[in-house]
Amino acid sequence: WRAGDTKHLTWTASTIKLAVVTDLLERARAGEITLSATDRSQIADILNRAADDAATALWNRYGKSAMATRFRTTYGMTTLTFIDGYTKFWGHMKCTAEDLYHLITYVTTKLDATDRAYVLDAMRHVGPIQQWGVWAAGPRWSPGTKDGWSIESDDGQKHWVTNAEGFAGPDQRYLVALMYQLPPGKEIGDGVHTVSDLVATVF
């Protein structure tokens, strides 16, 4: 089921961090890199509270913009793009809801079983700052979420984005990807409530 323009390019905010985590876990599983205790702690911080500092440290340590190639070719985020005029950084990217849907599909169906269990459990037990978005499906659905929120600029006007990707239901039966580009003048709370109310209504 789809609603709205699911192919509209929107700032990813922290939703792209799920791709960063997935990439690092897969490369470690393949023996391409070795994740230290600090790296593992930073991955946990990303999943729990969307920690920017942790994401930046891992981005800089393990490939920077080169990581995005795999996001596109392996995780199905085919329209993911860096924004012209900005440095090529995890926080300066846009994608579509379709891209996020492909990413959460990969995580729930193709990621190594042990790594998948870890990521899904972490998404089910996020800290208070991320207890919205797909989380709003309610406890009976055992939802997991990775949220993204930030103030961005388009057409010379600043505005909030509130995005979420995740899953709900037995064996992650339902996959969810939402991106909401708020109009200028609206606050983050407006976006958080709109996205959460939509999920709650559907479920």
* Residue 40, both tokens: 């593992």
Rounded to the nearest 5°, which phi and psi values hold at 194? Answer: -65, -50
Which residues, including other chains, have CB under 8 Å from residue 53's CB and lie 6 or more apart? Answer: none
Q: What does the pLDDT read at residue 145?
A: 98
For the chain, the helix, strand and coil percentages under 3-state DSSP, each to the nearest 5: 50, 20, 30
Q: Measured in whole angstroms, how far is the alpha carbon of residue 16 from the centre of its chain?
A: 4
Q: Return d(Cα 125, Cα 140) in angstroms, integer.
A: 14
Provide the 10 A C-beta neighbour count for residue 163.
Answer: 27
Q: What does the pLDDT read at residue 201?
A: 97
Q: What does the pLDDT read at residue 185?
A: 96
Q: Return d(Cα 124, Cα 167) in angstroms, integer.
A: 9
Q: What does the pLDDT read at residue 34?
A: 98
Provide the 10 A C-beta neighbour count for residue 8.
Answer: 14
What is the mean pLDDT of each successive set of 10 residues along the chain, which is 203 residues long?
96 98 98 98 98 98 98 98 97 98 98 98 98 98 98 96 98 98 97 98 96
Q: What does the pLDDT read at residue 133?
A: 98
Contact criterion met (CB below 8 Å) for 20 and 46: yes
